[in-house]
Amino acid sequence: MAGHSKWATTKHKKAALDAKRGKLFAKLVKNIEVAARTGGGDPDGNPTLYDAIQKAKKNSVPQDNIERARKRGAGEEAGGADWQNIMYEGYAPGGVAVLIECLTDNKNRAASEVRTALTRNGGSLADPGSVSYLFNRKGVVIMPKNGVSEDDVLMAVLDAGAEEVNDLGENYEIISEAGDMVAVRTALQEAGYDYESAEASFLPSVHVPLDAETARKVFRLIEALEDCDDVQNVYSNFDVSDEVLAEVG
């Protein structure tokens, strides 16, 4: 899975810098609003809100935008939307499974956007439950290396519930049960280590290896899905080797 993780990390960096920055900001702000609505507006008492705010800050979302979203979600300010979580399932080229997590105030629009993005890029919608069993809900913390050894990271997070630490080149990826993620993130902070992001994610239990041609098609489909306004996250079970990743560019 190293290739998959490195691709995701590289893509994340590019997303923060490219012309779609406004769209990325909108998604991050939406996350803050929903987290505040469901768990309260105090980040110290709402770990999901804390992590949503931290992620927004890491991606240079202005503090005013962050605070307004928090207030809307907490009911301190008018204008909050009735956001709903919807998970769609589908297939990408090469038999790759995809889970598409949406946060929307219009189910019909979200479904139409997702269906169009899939069909225009060689994919298809799948029935509920047909691919979700291939994924497990996990906590994923990304931490810049900054000269810290893998052994030091392991020592810091093992007692907090971390299951594995993966070397992604410039970063470490720390996997845990979703319920242990906050403890893992807190353990890193207490050890004096900065982290890039901490969020619950869906990780595949079965992987589909791709050649360069199929990888290009899958990446194109995922990027089309991520361009949809209502799509928050896209999870997939492809695996690409470092050699294929280099060939794809």
Report yes or no on 89 lying in a domain. yes
- Asked if 62 and 97 sit in the same domain, the reply is no
Q: Is residue 79 in a domain? A: no
* First-to-final CA distance of the chain: 17
Q: At what angle do helices 63-74 and 47-58 cross, to 10 degrees?
A: 160
The model's pLDDT over 51-62, given as tens digits with 9 standing for 90+, comes to 999 989 988 889
Question: What's residue 246's pLDDT?
Answer: 80
pLDDT of 19: 46
> Does 157 lie in the same domain as 178?
yes
In a domain, 248, yes or no: no
Task: State the average pLDDT over residues 130-149.
Answer: 94
Residues 90 and 29 in one domain: no
> What is the domain count for the chain?
3
Asked if residue 1 is part of any domain, the answer here is: no
249 domain residue, yes or no: no
Quick one: DSSP state of residue 133? G
Q: How far apart are CA 93 and CA 113, in angstroms?
A: 18
Q: Are residues 11 and 70 in the same domain?
A: yes
pTM of the complete model? 0.82
> Could you tell me if 127 and 229 lie in one domain?
yes
118 and 173: one domain?
Answer: no
20: which DSSP letter?
A: T
Longest dimension (CA), the chain: 51
**103 and 164 fall within a common domain:** no
Query: Which contacts (CB < 8 Å, 24+ apart) does range 76-80 have?
Result: 76/41, 80/33, 80/37
Residue 74 in contact with residue 40, Cβ under 8 Å?
A: yes
- Same structural domain, 224 and 129: yes
Looking at residue 16, which CATH number applies to its domain?
A: 1.10.10.200
Q: In CATH, what number is assigned to the domain containing residue 226?
A: 3.30.70.980
Asked if residue 204 lies in contact with residue 237, where contact means CB atoms within 8 angstroms, the answer is yes
Distance CA 70, CA 34 (A): 8
Q: Is residue 247 part of a domain?
A: no
* Distance in angstroms (rounded) separating the CA atoms of residues 2 and 10: 12
Residue 150 to residues 100, 144, 163, 212, Cα–Cα distance (Å): 32, 11, 13, 30
The reply to whether 54 and 16 lie within a common domain is yes
Is 89 in the same domain as 190? Answer: no
**Per-residue pLDDT tens digits for 68-111:** 999 998 888 777 668 888 999 999 999 999 999 999 989 999 99
Residue 248 is predicted with a pLDDT of 80
DSSP state of 182: H
187 with 216, same domain: the answer is no
Range of weakest confidence among 59-63, 110-114, 175-179:
59-63
Residue 246 lies in a domain: no
| Residue span of the structural domain in which 14 resides | 6-74
Do 214 and 178 fall within a single domain?
no
Distance (Å, whole) CA 160 – CA 152: 14
Distance of CA 90 to the CA centre of its chain: 17
